[in-house]
Amino acid sequence: MRKMPLGCAGSGVHLLWFLCRRRLGADLASRYNRPMASSNPSPPVVVRCKGILFDMDGVLISSLGSVERSWTRWAEMRGIDPAYALSIVHGRRSIETVARLRPDLDAEAENRIIEKLEIDDTEGVKVLPGVLDLLAALPAGSWTVVTSATGALARVRLAAARIPASGPIVTADDVVKGKPDPAPYLAGAALLGLPPAECVVIEDASSGAKAGRTAGCTVIATTFSHSIESLDAANYIVPDLKGVTVTAPPGGECIDLTFTPIAASVKA
């Protein structure tokens, strides 16, 4: 079992590199200097941190049905191909998606429309596997939610999925720039009173993984909504949170997350 300390052991952050075991993979990585991910069986990894920053949709809860129905309806109202709209909505603030899809419209007004559509549709919103056990094992005050949803929408979805309150969270209303900008995760670390290097981000979207990595956090990504290939900004990739366990080392300041990745970044 390999360990990756995050500031708690006094030695700073040490990136764990998973090297390609096959010669062809190693040759390609060297030749093109591209980040690659190993899909070979990996040993369990222990990541030590002081705080955890959870994305909401696709990590803690599934709201795919609501998202797809709401954005499809809005896209049809505004003469946009629903399939294209759905291809870019995940992991971004809705106001930024609206501005990208219809820059000629009032983004704030349109955002209020899509927010209401999503708030009014909670059918099928549910907690994802492993989430409740993981949250129950975490020390109070050691985690928060960092979501691209608005504050009102986040509260509705967390309540619908019966996720226990974690106190203040970071929503789209709290930042000027959303993911993939690092601002949301920098705000999340500040909310916990921790430097980003002592936080772990758990994401499912490529934009969120990039935001967490750029913020200076260690990123664990799940494959709920994105492919392994698109999550290359993450340090580690797992299918979901069922296999992530929590222990608290002596001293009480740190958290050890133990899991077996299905892929890991070789990007510095």
Query: Nearest 5°: phi and psi at 109?
Result: -65, -45
User: Which one is catalytic: 55, 181, 204, 232?
Assistant: 55
199-203 and 51-54: which strand pairing?
parallel
Query: Where do we find the tokens 């670390």?
Result: 189
User: Which one is catalytic: 57, 181, 204, 232?
Assistant: 57
- Please give the C-alpha separations between residue 120 and each of 52, 116, 176, in angstroms, as whole numbers: 30, 6, 25
Burial of residue 39, with CB atoms counted within 10 A of its CB: 0-12 exposed, 13-18 middle, 19 or more buried: middle
Active site residue 81: no
Active site residue 55: yes
Tokens of 114: 């899509």
Q: In 10 A of CB 148, how many CB atoms?
A: 29
Residue 152 contacts residue 119 (beta carbons within 8 Å): yes
Q: In sequence order, which residues have a C-beta less than 8 Å from that of residue 239 and are 6 or more positions away?
A: 222, 223, 262
Which element (helix H / strand E) includes 258? Answer: strand 255-259
Q: 176 in helix, strand or coil?
A: coil
The residues that are catalytic are 55, 57
